[in-house]
Structure 1
């Protein structure tokens, strides 16, 4: 399927994802098996012009806000967790770029190019020696004439080797404090990546998030003017947790679907005259999924409304952290119940009722920014701030 223009609405984008379901499913299975990038699925999303979902229409994108992005992330996640997570992380990078494009012509031109050519944008925020702290950097920009030199040892760079560009955090200069960070757009042709470790993990194997050593030379115009601290609080933290949670909810939804299908097949093949007893675990799974979907959609709307209102956006750190913790834990419980319902058919790596990959992929959620760290942050904010339950 090839589309000449970006989808005009979230509903149209969902229709395009549905048309790609078989391709996404098959590509996800192959990527998981080989711990390889899901080329078929991502290429299909490119051909359907779904990589520019978060780019505003004025730059040639679909201009979808957080609620539409969350629905798409859930739908793609139902087909393949790795593909869904790649798509979600990519949209997050685009959303971080968009506000700066208004004052940086270089960034505006890049968004137009990214929409036209369906670029894939990766993130380089991790780093050796900072303990997983997003808001700290050892790497720094070093001025060299009209350009900047940048070198960074990253612990994980999801799909970095397949990306057309990278958004990299670094100290403003080599004299800046560790938390005085900027965000830098690095085009693939401006960078040299060297893999420094393997990627052979329990789940999310298709994200290809190996450690990388990055060296790059970038023009000044590709350094975002706004401090990274503001970008992180305003966009990166809340939207990442919304979209990650949406992907996990989508994966869990497909596990639930398989458990329902298994129960229906079991009822049809039961012995003549026997009474089929519905499995109450299906009801428990449905209740959890209903809650998760409502939480994702609710925070997505709140985020979009805050962005559209103008002025200082509301601080969504606490509810975003809470959503991430809840979704990463509850989605696993849904998949675990699906495994119990399906039994050996669910435990198998193959077949229509397998939920093995679902479980493996979902366990990644607890360590994508450790839940204990997020709970500690929320505890501190709640003890020193307002009552966030009002």
Structure 2
């Protein structure tokens, strides 16, 4: 299996890297300090067609594949982890479920604006008491005539303040086995009874918009249920499988940036009359960092290839997400170590990579959940 990028994907990679280095990277430290959302950056990403990479042209997209999308996530994440996170979330979590499970009318109405960059996408799954245990969802949807009435609370939801709609999961009854039946609903952010706030003071990925959502008797038209009302749980599991590929790609981008800074610094920094890159201890660190990044990148591309070719990819996306996220934390930590005291300072930026990378071991399924997913895919019960 060969993962050499196609000519089109290589051209796109170069375009995204150029844009990211000029438009995103110079502002990354500012957004990290202020926790402002880079709204203007996303407008430009939309104008470049980068918010619709994996979707067909008929829905406002570029007609690209998952590998191309993963490459774009990596390049944006290389410039700014927070911007990369919101970029990945709007496509993988906000737009993709509508593409895969929505009706034709829903795709035209909700997917097209996201793919064109006219709005961002958001996915409301996590709750205060339902994180790793997504089946513990407590938000409820009750059918009342031609509308569902939704009550509940969602937390740590990306992009909600900048989205026209949020896909919200809610319990809407029980199945024939007596288990909760969870469905997904397309909820307009201007709905009466919907409150969106950003109350969090985060450790990292501070450029990304992270919200708390309160739904108080929010009425949603029946036609806004996403896909099969009896298969909502399976829908968001598939959504998370795809999202894990993008989180893994983001981890590779953050790690790549940390590595590049460490390598450059090691060649400039002199101790005992020579650059520290000449010391075997530093060389071994850099060699391990480069190797792990390349391994993670190949895992991302394999999972993306499997998805593009309609092959099972649950296990491989978990492999990629688990290895890449933990790798990014290791690489960022070593980058700080190579910088020594300077690495601990904001000015040299590598400390930001540690803070950004840590979230990737938690979001989209913790490392522990990834190991559980892998074990189950191996037949362990």
Relative to the length of structure 2, the TM-score reads 0.86
Partner of 2:287: 283
Cα–Cα, structure 1 residues 272 and 68, in superposed 2: closer, same or farther, change >3 Å?
closer
The partner residue of 2:233 within 206, 225, 229 is: 229
How big is the shift at 1:70?
0.7
How big is the shift at 1:297?
0.8
CA distance in 1 between partners of 2:116 and 2:69 (Å): 19
How big is the shift at 1:324?
1.8
What is the CA deviation profile of residues 135-172 of structure 1, one whole-angstrom value per residue up to 9, with x for unaligned ones? 34222222233222222201221121122221111123
Cα–Cα, structure 1 residues 104 and 222, in superposed 2: closer, same or farther, change >3 Å?
farther
The partner residue of 1:365 within 357, 360, 364 is: 360
Cα–Cα, structure 1 residues 182 and 272, in superposed 2: closer, same or farther, change >3 Å?
closer
Q: Give RMSD over aligned pairs.
A: 2.8
Cα–Cα, structure 1 residues 125 and 260, in superposed 2: closer, same or farther, change >3 Å?
same
Contact 2:266 2:277 in 1 (8 A): no
Contact 2:266 2:275 in 1 (8 A): no
Q: How does 1:71-150 map to 2 (within 5 A)?
A: 71-92=71-92, 93-101=94-102, 103-116=103-116, 118-150=118-150
How big is the shift at 1:174?
8.3
Cα–Cα, structure 1 residues 319 and 117, in superposed 2: closer, same or farther, change >3 Å?
closer
How big is the shift at 1:65?
1.8
Structure 1 unaligned segments of length 5 or more: list them.
Answer: 1-7, 307-312, 386-390
- Of Structure 1 and Structure 2, the greater strand share is in 2
Q: Secondary structure at the match of 1:190?
A: coil
Cα–Cα, structure 1 residues 275 and 192, in superposed 2: closer, same or farther, change >3 Å?
closer
Partner of 1:310: none
CA distance in 1 between partners of 2:71 and 2:60 (Å): 21
Q: How does 1:1-390 map to 2 (within 5 A)?
A: 9-20=8-19, 21-92=21-92, 93-101=94-102, 103-116=103-116, 118-173=118-173, 179-190=180-191, 192-195=193-196, 198-215=199-216, 216-226=218-228, 227-233=231-237, 235-266=238-269, 271=273, 276-277=278-279, 279-280=282-283, 281-306=285-310, 314=312, 316-351=313-348, 354-368=349-363, 369-384=365-380
Cα–Cα, structure 1 residues 13 and 146, in superposed 2: closer, same or farther, change >3 Å?
farther
Contact 1:166 1:188 in 2 (8 A): yes
Contact 1:9 1:64 in 2 (8 A): no
CA distance in 1 between partners of 2:276 and 2:32 (Å): 40
How big is the shift at 1:252?
0.4
CA distance in 1 between partners of 2:277 and 2:151 (Å): 67
Q: Which moved more, 1:270-279 or 1:157-166?
A: 270-279
Q: Which moved more, 1:119-128 or 1:209-218?
A: 209-218
CA distance in 2 between partners of 1:72 and 1:198 (Å): 29
CA distance in 2 between partners of 1:75 and 1:83 (Å): 11
CA distance in 2 between partners of 1:79 and 1:53 (Å): 19
Contact 2:171 2:183 in 1 (8 A): yes
Cα–Cα, structure 1 residues 9 and 120, in superposed 2: closer, same or farther, change >3 Å?
farther
How big is the shift at 1:295?
0.8
How big is the shift at 1:40?
3.5
Contact 1:27 1:39 in 2 (8 A): no
How big is the shift at 1:9?
4.8
Structure 2 unaligned segments of length 5 or more: list them.
Answer: 1-6
Cα–Cα, structure 1 residues 178 and 330, in superposed 2: closer, same or farther, change >3 Å?
same
CA distance in 2 between partners of 1:27 and 1:383 (Å): 46
Contact 2:174 2:181 in 1 (8 A): no
CA distance in 1 between partners of 2:62 and 2:8 (Å): 7
CA distance in 2 between partners of 1:330 and 1:116 (Å): 33
CA distance in 2 between partners of 1:76 and 1:136 (Å): 34
How big is the shift at 1:277?
4.0
How big is the shift at 1:118?
2.5
Relative to the length of structure 1, the TM-score reads 0.84
